[in-house]
Structure 1
Amino acid sequence: MPCRLRPNLLLSLAALIFAGPLLGQSLPDRSEQAIVDHVRTQQAPAVALLEQVVNINSGTMNFAGVRAVSDVFQPHFAALGFQTHWVDGTPFGRAGHLVAERKGKGKSKKPHVLLIGHLDTVFEPDSPFQRFERVDENIVRGPGTADMKGGVVVALAALSSLKHAGVLDRLDLTVVLHGDEEDSGAPLAAARATLIDAAKAADIAIGLENADDNTKTAVTARRSSGRWQIKASGKTAHSSQVFSEEVGAGAIYELARILNSFYTELRGEELLTFNPGLVIGSTQVEYLPEPLQGKASGKDNIVAPVAVASGDLRAITPEQISRTQEKMRAIVAAHLPQTSAEITFDEGYPPMAPTKGNERLLGIYDQVSRDLGFGPVTAVDPRRAGAADVSFAADHVEMSIDGLGLKGGDSHTPTEFADLRTLQIQAQRLAVLLYRLGKK
């Protein structure tokens, strides 16, 4: 199946490519011009590096593969003066994380920037989608091309250009590359402890995801991603006795009441969604939350004694999550006759709430893009921005932004692709952004 760029991305790229910078536009700041010029020399080695890491399977549960991708990236960070170490993932049941740190030189206080990415993909060794493939001069297909080995390659091209221009020492830098972004380890607090600790020491967090794959947008807000489970119970009896005073409504009606009340009473709040992904009920029920599955057996003429539902909850602020959970608990507690139910909430990805700091960082990035001739960058609608690791850092830094990685499309599918034309765009933008942050 051929890869096809979405119309908005095609139009964006057409406008950017003929806007000037790729044809030699000059910048008034000599350091910025040196940075941009060096980024242009990085296209071939960057694509070669992308091919190398894409051809290493790093499905989340392929621990050896995740570590092998880390082993490829590690010397590139070391060559730029980063101190690197591997965080063992055994305590949270995953491969682990690569951390790279570099202190700027001089006694003055420098902005501390945290770059966030990941090494793993959704494609395990049994997937038929394994190899880097050139579709044409600009489009490459492969697992992790856009999501998000390409983002790490963009960061290395940008950092290399800063070092070449002699300005990398103006920043303190930490890079955290997770080995379990696509399937987080448990407990989640342990799996994200390294990132949270790094964020507490940083001023600014930048995510290297591909986000909505649009070169004209960046992410300043992401919704949370959490799960909930409901277990309803009722009295079992012959179906002819349902609704009687002794038997009541049964578990399935109780669960149906709860889900319908969620829909009628909670639906409509801006950026709040709650979706039941599995519903099951009968005389006998087997429910497994991981991987999510269920099995039921019974008869139509028996009032079901048990029913289970599992779903997700997405919100834009911690306050919205807390308020919604309380409303859900209250709905669950209003039982039908002779029934009971309880709801539990699992830990999940927190939201990246919109803040003035994030808006300010987007403004700086937008100006960088305009000055480079790539046009304006606006904030993507949070409904189009799924949960990501930057959310764990956002509450601990002054400013955060995401979506600065390589662009493409069809992430998490066997047609995932990256557009190599965006490598120059994204690397130049990131490099000049970092340079300007270091000047402030």
Structure 2
Amino acid sequence: MDKKWLELLERLVNTDTGFDLDNSTKLERTQFIADILKDYGFQVHRESAAHVALKGKPPYLTLIGHLDTVFKEGEASRRPFTLQDNVARGPGVADMKGGAVLLVAVVEEATKKNLDGLCVILNVDEELGSKESRETFEKHAKESVCCLSFEPGGIHGELVASRKGIASLNIEVKGVKGHASRLEEGANAIVEASHKVCELYSLNGHIGSLTVNPTIMNGGEKSNITPDLCRIYCDVRFSSTQELKEFEKRLVEIVSENRIERTSCTYSLTERRPPMLFMDEMKYALEKVFQNLGRRFELEHSSGGADGAFFTTFGVPTLDGLGLCGGRFHSEEEFALIDSFKDRLRLAVELLECFDQRRSEKKVRE
């Protein structure tokens, strides 16, 4: 990894871009990355929670990544970038500031090879669910022929071929207040909610690969009052829209049948990210690239959601996990393996060239 890329990685890691900052602040703090893209001939501007850089005309070869982290303001000062032998550490060093540096290096190589029709999107709200930047991704997905995402690779070099979608489930159980010593006076919302939590959890393993995990439960007012309200939040992960539909069908049954008399239940189920699918066109491109490289990378299906899913929803072949390899993401032990840089760089550039050739062939046919 050349010195200039290490210096860029150090600067990025030592720039706080945590979830506790507003998006405009994070965009301002990372403007230096956008300025580097300008130096490569891109037209750069800001859209919803993202830096967007365009070079040439669509349809685009699109590269994406995020510049935000899960760490609070001050973490970079408390735990700045360090490098020992092959291992880099610091907040977000792998997820995914290392990937952002790799993306810029890919842009440099693509520029040297005179590749045109490039789109780069670097958002600052990915760790918050990309609520604002989703609009930006979907807009440019409609103009893309492929999407390469630079989330971190696995510790053994794995690429992410597909990902689960994410949905948020909020349940509200209402009961009746009463004196805690007189059970007949009240209708305990916490007890009813507990039944529903157990029923929901029992669905795991019965609807394809879908998982439902109750992670937050709040109820009760005082120790001597029967609670009349309890709220539950569940994290839901799914590999297909059909799985989510089947889950909601079972969910309706669970919330409509109450064990405790005089309780009632409502819910809201919101898709936060669609699943990222492994499309045939990306499979074929990878096979060609593996042959050119003379080596293969393992492919994995991830239970974690990411922004590449916004592209497969529009039929755009997408590959993720192209960033620096590493591990212990979202923790103080997070690390990135510097010696993975060279192979990831070559892999990404080969993929861009492959899709550029396909794009050219398609234009000729048209």
Q: TM-score, normalised by structure 1?
A: 0.74
How is 1:10-409 mapped onto 2 (pairs within 5 angstroms)?
43-63=2-22, 66-87=26-47, 89=48, 96-103=49-56, 112-127=60-75, 129-134=78-83, 136-164=84-112, 166-169=113-116, 172-184=117-129, 188=131, 190-215=132-157, 217-238=158-179, 242=183, 250-265=188-203, 267-282=205-220, 284=221, 297-299=222-224, 302-336=225-259, 337-357=261-281, 361-373=282-294, 375-383=295-303, 386-409=304-327
- CA–CA distance in structure 2, aligned partners of residues 306 and 163 of structure 1: 59
Larger Rg: 1
Note closer, same or farther for the CA distance 1:209–1:236 as it changes in structure 2 (3 Å cut): same
The answer on 1:432 being equivalent to 2:353 is no
- Identify the residue that residue 31 of structure 1 maps to in structure 2: none
Aligned to 2:362: none
Amino acid at match of 1:208: F
2:293 aligned partner, one-letter code: L
| Counterparts in 2 of 1:265 and 1:119: CA distance versus 1, 3 Å | closer
Deviations 1:358-398 (A, max 9, x none): xxx1442344245324x212321333xx1111112221133
Contact 2:8/2:101 (8 A) holds in 1: yes
Backbone CA RMSD of aligned residues: 2.4
Q: CA shift at 1:79, angstroms? A: 2.1
- Give per-residue Cα distances to partners, 1:176-202, cap 9 Å, x unaligned: 1001111246xx2x4311111000111
- The 1:130/1:269 distance shift into structure 2, 3 A limit, reads same
In 2: Cα distance, 1:265 partner to 1:413 partner? 30
Per the TM alignment, residue 304 of structure 1 is displaced from its structure 2 partner at its CA by 3.0
SS in 2 for 1:220: strand
Q: Classify the secondary structure of the residue corresponding to 1:148.
A: helix
Count of residue pairs brought into register by the alignment: 355
- Partners of 1:365 and 1:62 in 2: CA distance: 38
Helix, strand or coil for the counterpart of 2:30? helix
* Alignment check: 8 A CA contact 2:170 2:233 kept: yes
Normalised by the size of structure 2, how large is the TM-score? 0.88
Give the Å deviation of 1:307.
2.0
- Segments of 5+ residues of structure 2 without an aligned counterpart are 359-366
State the secondary structure of the residue aligned to 1:160.
helix
| Cα 1:231–1:211 shift into 2, 3 Å | farther
Structure 1 letter corresponding to 2:63: L
Paired with 1:125 and 1:195, the residues of 2 have a C-alpha distance of 27
Q: In the alignment, which residue of structure 2 is the partner of 1:291?
A: none
Give, in whole Å, the separation in 1 of the partners of 2:66 and 2:283.
22
2:364 paired residue number: none
Deviation at 1:150, TM superposition (A): 1.3
**Does the C-alpha gap of structure 1 residues 356 and 370 become closer, same or farther in structure 2, counting only changes over 3 Å?**
closer
State the alpha-carbon separation in 1 of the partners of residues 256 and 230 from structure 2.
15
CA–CA distance in 1 between the matches of 2:53 and 2:305? 24
